[in-house]
Chains A and B, each alone.
Chain A
Amino acid sequence: RKEVEQDPGPFNVPEGATVAFNCTYSNSASQSFFWYRQDCRKEPKLLMSVYSSGNEDGRFTAQLNRASQYISLLIRDSKLSDSATYLCVMTGGYNKLIFGAGTRLAVHP
């Protein structure tokens, strides 16, 4: 089983739609969780951290379910500029982050 699993997509959604991604992980000892965004042929950039109580940043909501070992990202009112690959990331040990392969989102007019 992979340490981090994501649906590769692509998720094709119209502008204004709400879309959700899930990510499952196998290491129950992971302490910190993040969502990164990666545009085509660019470096990943931090989108938001994920807290146990859930957290929101504008149109983005992230949640963590430790019991079922998954995290989620919800995007409301999708914009064309949201088109990107979203990477699920978590700590995997001393000084290490483990990255999922990403879920591709394509928002169309």
Chain B
Amino acid sequence: SQTIHQWPATLVQPVGSPLSLECTVEGTSNPNLYWYRQAAGRGLQLLFYSVGIGQISSEVPQNLSASRPQDRQFILSSKKLLLSDSGFYLCALDRSTGELFFGEGSRLTVL
């Protein structure tokens, strides 16, 4: 069965510090992968999606970036965090049924 591992689960970072969130998937090959962010009281916002190694599409301009160095690894990064980067970051893959399957998420607080 497919699984998604995200880490860290929770982190508190100061403004201006770098960020790296990791997502790895198991039980599938060549998945489409996604990074979503959910701010408090808001809907999920698609940040990036990837259809393969090295292929990244960005949905919104921001100070975040994503990379896919391996088929089952998807990384979200920032060089300098902003207060507005706080939120719940979710990695997801899509299943053949059209369903998005999510990892357990990484909760980021920027102070």
Interface residues of A (CB under 8 A from B): 4, 8, 32, 34, 41-46, 49, 87, 89, 91, 95-102
Contact = CB atoms under 8 A, between A and B. Distances in A.
Interface stretch (B12-20, B44-52, B66-74, B79-87): B44-52
Closest 10 CB pairs of A and B: A101-B43, A43-B102, A99-B44, A99-B43, A46-B99, A32-B98, A43-B105, A100-B43, A43-B104, A97-B100
Contact of A101 (B41, B51, B90, B97): B41
Among A34, A49, A87, A95, max chain B CB count under 10 A is at A95
Please tell me the size bucket of the interface on B: 20 to 34
B102 A45 contact: yes
22 contacts: A4-B43, A32-B98, A42-B104, A42-B105, A43-B104, A43-B105, A44-B44, A44-B90, A44-B100, A45-B102, A46-B99, A46-B100, A49-B97, A49-B98, A49-B99, A87-B43, A89-B100, A96-B49, A98-B46, A100-B43, A101-B42, A102-B43
B32 interface: yes
A102 B42 CA distance: 8
A47 B102 CA distance: 13
Nearest to B32: A95
Contacts of B105: 42-43
Interface of B: 32, 36, 41-44, 46, 49, 51, 59, 88, 90, 94, 97-105, 107
A4 B42 CA distance: 12
Given A101-B43, A102-B43, A44 B98 contact: no
Given A98-B46, A101-B41, 17 more contacts: A34-B98, A34-B99, A41-B88, A42-B104, A42-B105, A43-B104, A44-B44, A45-B102, A46-B99, A46-B100, A46-B101, A89-B100, A91-B98, A97-B46, A97-B100, A100-B43, A101-B42
